[in-house]
Amino acid sequence: MCVCQHPPEVKENVPVESETYPGELENEVEELSAQTLNAKLNAIFKERTDVKSNGLCLDTCKRMVKLMDLDLTGTLSIKEYVALKEKLEFYTNIFSLVDTNLSGTIDSLEMGNALQNAGFFVNEKIRDLIVEKYSSENLSLDFDNFIASMIHLETIFKMFKILDKGNSGSINLSLSEWLCAALA
Ligand SMILES: [Ca+2]
């Protein structure tokens, strides 16, 4: 059994005023596309001193939009964006918590702790696959790759939950469904 628990659910009714920076949303009227979100988040993380970010990639932001886009507009409303910010804060805190030597990166062992803290209970083989996929040098993950891995994992969990209609813990996929899942 690789997986015992799902990560925190996406909240549908998060107050707009929570987890935002002062004045950040005052002039927000437009829906955020993945590209706009990418620029916005990179600007925010660049200013922060508690984490070292070199910038999230566009693919990660596309996944974020898909994950948080509850009304299926293809973009994030302010409410959806605030829920995403809360999620990113959750993962940022975990990264800081497990990076005990303050190197700005986390190794395979620390990643195991991070996964558990995030609610992903996976075996060592799965952990190593995640580290191999998202690590850069020395099999360690920097902050941006860590966030990317968490968002990807959540996407996979969410997809499984949708496909596992009877909540049986296993799914049968057609080729078309498999392709959709693998490419998401
Ligand atoms: Ca939306």
Take residue 163 and report the two structure tokens written for it: 């496909």
Q: Which pLDDT belongs to residue 82? A: 97
Nearest Cα residue to 38 out of 13, 21, 63: 63
Does some domain include residue 45? yes
Does some domain include residue 153? yes
Q: Which residue bears the tokens 């909240």? A: 11
Quick check: pTM over 0.85? no
Ligand 1 mean position, distance from CA 12 (Å): 11
Ligand 1 mean position, distance from CA 121 (Å): 29
Does some domain include residue 18? no
Give the Cβ contact number of residue 161 at 10 Å. Answer: 13
Residue 90's domain spans which residues?
A: 34-183
Q: Band the pLDDT of 181: cuts 50, 70, 90.
A: confident
Does some domain include residue 6? no
The answer to whether 56 and 45 have CB atoms below 8 angstroms apart is: yes
Ligand 1 mean position, distance from CA 84 (Å): 11
Number of structural domains the chain divides into: 1
pLDDT tens for each residue of 121-150:
999 999 999 999 999 878 899 999 999 999
pLDDT reading at 28 higher than 70: no
Ligand 1 mean position, distance from CA 169 (Å): 29
Does some domain include residue 71? yes
Does some domain include residue 135? yes
Q: Which residue bears the tokens 């941006």? A: 144
Name the residues around ion ligand 1, CB cutoff 5 A. 69, 71, 73, 77
Q: Which pLDDT belongs to residue 30? A: 83
Q: Residue type at 176?
A: S
Does some domain include residue 78? yes
Mean pLDDT calculated for residue range 93-109: 92
Average the pLDDT over each of 1-5, 90-94, 175-179 and give the range with the smallest value: 1-5
Ligand 1 mean position, distance from CA 140 (Å): 33
Ligand 1 mean position, distance from CA 36 (Å): 14
Four-residue CA torsion sign, 178, 147, 96, 81: negative
Ligand 1 mean position, distance from CA 178 (Å): 25
CATH number of the domain to which 95 belongs: 1.10.238.10
pLDDT tens for each residue of 42-85:
999 999 998 999 999 999 999 999 999 999 999 999 999 999 99
Q: Which residue bears the tokens 């809360």? A: 86
Does some domain include residue 27? no
Q: Residue type at 47?
A: E
